[in-house]
Amino acid sequence: MTEERLQKIISRAGITSRRKAEELIVQGRVTVNGKVIRELGTKADPDKDHIKVDGKLLRFKEQKTYILLNKPVKYVTTLSDPEGRPTVIELLRGVKGRVYPVGRLDYDTSGLLLLTNDGDFANMIMHPKFEIQKTYEAKIEGELNDKEIEKLQKGMKLEGRMTAPARIKKLRRTDKNSWLEITIHEGRKRQVRRMFERTGHSVLKLIRTKIAFLDIKGLNTGEYRFLIKAEVDRLTRLTEEGR
């Protein structure tokens, strides 16, 4: 963070108004790195400097941030990558502060990804007990028959554990492939791809289109937007209903 006037920093920390902060400075009640400051034009960097008011170190409440990103393929959903692949964080130009992905989307999967700095919110979205629905469009080899659809809908064993029932909807088909919509509320590693593979159909393309009522309409690949308070509140209510 760049340097700011002291009175602005003190006000932003929620100690008092900017005008009152000026009075505190003039009265010699503010120190920066142990030095008493009385000049109103003095600037400091709140990320680097130790700023105290009446001997108490300033602490900043981090503003909660909620972002909806239309993730492209060939991006990893981690903060950094040892293989040097591009990360979704690189797409968030202009976003101040640190956020992290809510769950993951595979390197070769695109679509809706949430990012936040709110740990409680992230847990609500990811934990299967809250049953937040995630909807995908999948292009698969061939076409599912009724028995295979029933297998997905009832649940199947993956690594010794049954998956929760899925909702399946046929969308369209080509000569050799078909598109389906699948909705689940779990988030196991590569779960959707593995479920289709268990039916004998490889996934050629996978797009997450929705999380609960949120979708990627209006966002081009690689674009993002901030969630509004009403959306965050609505998601929170959904998790409370699923308790």
Q: Is 106 known to be catalytic? A: yes
Using CA atoms, how far apart are residues 30 and 50, in angstroms rounded to an integer? 10
Which of the residues 81, 106, 118, 146 is marked catalytic? 106
The partner residues of 5 in beta bridges, in order of sequence, read 43
Q: Locate tokens 């000049």: which residue?
A: 39
Collapsed DSSP state (helix, strand, coil) of residue 62: coil
Backbone angles phi, psi at 51, to 5 degrees: -110, 125
Using CA atoms, how far apart are residues 68 and 73, in angstroms rounded to an integer? 16
**What is the secondary structure of 140-198 as a DSSP string?**
EES---HHHHHHHHH--EETTEEPPP-EEEEEEE-SSEEEEEEEES---TTHHHHHHHH
Q: Locate tokens 């028995």: which residue?
A: 147
> Looking at the annotation, which residues are catalytic?
106
